[in-house]
């Protein structure tokens, strides 16, 4: 067992080393503070010159912490902030420099330039005037800085005059002139949120919403807690029919102020509309087209006073009706959209498909050709146009739907029912006169062929694409198909079998 005396003796052997370490640490703190600041300043300058801004900033932070009254540490840090594009961070440092050393003209010039860019015209003018006065008092003034101060002072005066003119033009409702004057102001005052907000208002009143959005987005970043910019952005997007972006912007407003009355009221409206539209789109994805149409009708009732939203709802109703094979209704609704938006390619394609369902192939071709003018190399348009052209050509020959008297959207059950009725009516055994019998035979063959094609999914698909599977001249004539449990070429198609008309009609 180790004795207490042994442990004590062991510890005593380390005491001199511990004391030496403590003494060294204390000495470093005591006599190295100023040296540490100088070291950080020197290293920061080198890193700044090398373009290593983040590392330089760390050293200048350390220098400021080490000596809070070292005006050059603040100035150097402000220089790095400016090089990093962080003018908001640079401004307090420049103000601290001027507070510590009021005659530091370079800092005043830089602060004046920043204030001018931010639209702080009075404060900028004050800095430029003080710089000019300081140079007048110096025995060896810097011509370069004096000239810059004088030039910027004149520019600030000119901007002040333009701001007054822009406000006057705006109040006189001359928004075009006001916007042009604000263009000149913003060229200099690039970070001035107030000028951008006024120009955005001009654009809104002039109906140039895209330009208004650009200015409001900039204003929302330039001014802290800019709830008004987010609210206006949300309402613009809403009126443009972009419900998703409208919801995003109004949420940004509520993040800044959860109790903002305008934003909260608008948020409830946008959220309700957004939910309805999403639900309608899900129904389209699920191929529940009639339900989707009903949902979009509800959208128009929710917001009847925003034309773009009504147009969006009708555009999607047009699509759902065309997909749901409701050709006649689709043509009508699509037409309403195209009267207001004649170059809407999606609606032109949907109406073309609806026209095909209604067997109006020439109208379908016209819509596809119009769509192609506004959307070159669109595969869907090109394929649709070719199909409509084939169907038009086909309609001038033999149309199996017309033969059976059914629509293109007819189900198999309807087709068989029509076939049975016509087969009974036109069976050749029903006719005694030879001429009538020959006519009935031809009619009966057409009826049987129509039933054969339209009840076979593969043959019907080919026919719907504009090909005639029963045409011996068609490329498809080389293929074989099933008929009454047997296989035979189309050229040998005979619904009566062999021999004369001993055919016994049967249901199948």
Check residue 482 and report its DSSP letter.
E
Is the distance from CB of 160 to CB of 120 less than 8 angstroms?
no
Mean pLDDT, range 205-230, rounded to an integer: 93
Q: Given pLDDT bands bounded at 50, 70 and 90, which one contains residue 495?
A: low
Q: Are 356 and 386 in contact (CB under 8 A)?
A: no
For the stretch 316-340, pLDDT in tens is 999 999 999 898 999 999 999 999 9
- Spatial separation of the C-alpha atoms in residues 488 and 490, rounded to whole Å: 7
**Residue 172: CB atoms within 10 Å:** 10
- pLDDT of 499: 35
* Distances from the Cα of 488 to the Cα of 2, 445, 504, angstroms: 109, 15, 20
pLDDT for position 497 = 44
Average predicted confidence (pLDDT) for the chain: 84
Provide the pLDDT confidence category of residue 476 given band limits of 50, 70 and 90.
very low
- Give the span between the Cα atoms of 58 and 73, in whole angstroms: 11
- pLDDT score at 5: 46
126-182 pLDDT, tens per residue?
A: 999 998 888 776 655 557 878 888 899 999 999 999 999 999 999 999 999 999 999
What's the average model confidence in pLDDT over 112-136?
Answer: 91
Nearest CA among 466, 455, 467 for reference residue 423:
455
Pick the closest to residue 203 from 233, 228, 226 (CA basis): 233
Residue 36 has pLDDT above 70, yes or no: yes
Instruction: Give start and end residues of each alpha helix (H) in 84-137.
Output: 87-100, 105-117, 121-137
496 φ, ψ (degrees, to nearest 5): -95, -5
> How confident is the model at residue 462, as a pLDDT?
86
- Domain boundaries of the chain, sorted by first residue: 209-395, 401-492
Query: What's the fold here for domain 209-395?
Result: 1.25.40
Which is more confidently placed, 17 or 474?
Answer: 474
- In this predicted structure, the answer to whether residue 399 has a pLDDT above a threshold of 80 is yes
Closest alpha carbon to 288 in 297, 275, 279: 279
Q: Return the closest-CA partner of residue 437 out of 483, 493, 503.
A: 503
In angstroms, rounded to a whole number, what is the distance separating the alpha carbons of residues 312 and 300?
A: 9
Do 447 and 404 meet the contact criterion of CB atoms below 8 Å apart?
yes
Cα separation, 8 vs 191, in Å, equals 70
The answer to whether 194 and 170 are in contact (CB under 8 A) is: no
- 401-492 matches 209-395 in CATH topology: no
Strand extents, DSSP E, 144-202? none
Q: Tell me the fold of 401-492.
A: Helix Hairpins (1.10.287)
Percent residues over pLDDT 90 in the chain: 63
């Amino acid at each position: 067992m180790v004795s207490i005396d042994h442990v004590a003796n062991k510890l005593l052997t380390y005491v001199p080393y511990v004391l030496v370490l403590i003494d060294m640490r204390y000495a470093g703190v005591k006599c190295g503070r100023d040296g540490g600041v100088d070291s950080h300043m020197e290293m920061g300058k080198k890193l700044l010159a090398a373009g290593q801004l983040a590392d330089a900033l760390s050293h200048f932070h350390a220098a400021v912490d080490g000596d809070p009254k070292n005006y050059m540490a603040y100035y150097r840090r402000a220089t790095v902030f400016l090089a990093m594009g962080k003018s908001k961070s640079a401004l307090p440092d420049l103000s601290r420099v001027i507070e510590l050393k009021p005659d530091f003209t370079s800092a005043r010039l830089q602060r004046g330039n920043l204030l001018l860019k931010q639209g702080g015209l009075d404060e900028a003018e004050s800095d430029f005037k003080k710089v000019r006065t300081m140079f007048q008092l110096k025995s060896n003034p810097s011509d370069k800085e004096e000239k810059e101060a004088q030039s910027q002072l004149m520019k600030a005066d000119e901007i002040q005059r333009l701001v007054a003119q822009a406000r006057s033009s705006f109040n006189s409702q001359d928004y075009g002139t006001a916007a042009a004057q604000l263009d000149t102001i913003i060229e200099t005052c690039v970070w001035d949120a107030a000028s951008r907000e006024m120009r955005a208002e001009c654009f809104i009143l002039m109906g140039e919403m895209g330009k208004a959005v650009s200015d409001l987005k900039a204003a929302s970043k330039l001014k802290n807690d800019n709830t008004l910019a987010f609210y206006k952005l949300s309402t613009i997007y809403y009126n443009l029919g972009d419900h998703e972006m409208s919801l995003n912007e109004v949420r940004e407003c509520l993040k800044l102020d959860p109790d903002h009355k305008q934003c909260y009221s608008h948020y409830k409206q946008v959220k309700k509309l957004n939910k309805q539209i999403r639900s309608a789109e899900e129904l389209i994805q699920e191929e529940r087209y009639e339900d989707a149409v009903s949902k979009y009708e509800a959208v128009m009732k929710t917001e009847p006073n925003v034309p773009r939203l009504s147009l969006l709802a009708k555009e999607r109703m047009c699509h759902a009706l065309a997909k749901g094979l409701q050709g006649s209704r689709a043509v009508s609704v699509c037409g309403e959209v195209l009267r207001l938006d004649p170059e809407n390619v999606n609606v032109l394609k949907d109406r073309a498909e609806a026209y095909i369902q209604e067997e109006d192939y020439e109208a379908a071709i016209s819509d596809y050709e119009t769509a192609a003018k506004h959307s070159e190399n669109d595969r869907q348009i090109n394929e649709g146009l070719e199909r409509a052209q084939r169907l038009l050509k086909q309609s001038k020959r033999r149309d199996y739907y017309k033969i059976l008297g059914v629509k293109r959207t007819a189900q198999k059950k309807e087709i068989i029912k029509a076939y049975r009725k016509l087969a009974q009516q036109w069976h050749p055994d029903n006719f005694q006169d030879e001429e009538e019998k020959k006519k009935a035979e031809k009619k009966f063959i057409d009826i049987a062929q129509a039933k054969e094609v339209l009840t076979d999914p593969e043959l019907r698909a080919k026919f719907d694409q504009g090909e005639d599977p029963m045409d011996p001249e068609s490329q498809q004539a080389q293929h074989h198909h099933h008929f009454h449990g047997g296989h035979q070429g189309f050229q040998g198609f005979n619904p009566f079998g062999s021999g004369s008309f001993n055919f016994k009609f049967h249901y199948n």
